[in-house]
Amino acid sequence: MSGRRAETLQKVAEAIADHVKDGALLGLGSGSTVAALLPILVRELKRNKVQRATWVPTSMQIQLEAERLHLQLAPLGRARVDLVVDGADQVDADLNLIKGGGGALLKEKVLLSNSRRSIIVADARKFAVRLCEDGVKVPVETSPFARVPVAKAIQEMGGEAHLRLDQRGFPLYTENGNLLLDVLFEPLKNPAKVEREVRSIPGVAEVGVFTVSPLEVFKLEDSGYALLRKR
């Protein structure tokens, strides 16, 4: 991690930690940005006397990072999460998101939908006017049984779906036992409509278009960060 990026993440962690109370239930998204931010955030929480936080991870990747830091973990239960910190693959001008590049989109969307406060941290290069600009694809998690009809239905919507493979060329399964289709759409004029229509296809577990609100987005820039809000 470069010194400038570390300084920016430090500032973001300080801003987040200032609004976390002792005993909070905190959610963790997945991906490289969250993994890099987590140890810095934990340090800032301790500095602010937050000693009894409980964390809800969304993937084995981030759970291992949390265990390495000796954090208290819990599954998602009846209580709403006080705060979720997550990343994004792309952010549009209205703060809609593409997420799930790491394959944890189902748990991430569930967690964000059950949070009192949702924070996204993303590099400036991940921002675009519309989602799917520059060839960024939308992950779609689907039942293996429904792979072919789901891909056909997406094609009829104007999308081009490709089965995600691992490094050996085998189908990549999510932690939920599903497959991932990476879908190339034209830049999305109406992300909420696409999210709704893809989710309605029988066999789809979740789609990586996120139109959740309210939302706070930390845009990481060379000189620091910009805080953007979606009501």
Give phi and psi for 67, each to the nearest 5.
Answer: -65, -35
Residues of the chain with CATH 3.30.70.260: 133-208
Whole-structure pTM value? 0.96
Every domain of the chain with CATH number 3.40.50.1360 lies at: 3-126+211-230
Fold designation for 133-208: Alpha-Beta Plaits (3.30.70)
CATH class of segment(s) 3-126+211-230: alpha beta
∠ CA 187-32-110, nearest 5°, is 65
Nearest to 175 by CA among 33, 31, 26, 58: 58
Q: What is the pLDDT along the chain (231 residues), one digit of tens a residue?
A: 678 889 999 999 999 999 999 999 999 999 999 999 999 999 999 999 999 999 999 999 999 999 999 999 999 999 999 999 999 999 999 999 999 999 999 999 999 999 999 999 999 999 999 999 999 999 999 999 999 999 999 999 999 999 999 999 999 999 999 999 999 999 999 999 999 999 999 999 999 999 999 999 999 998 899 999 999
What residues act catalytically?
108
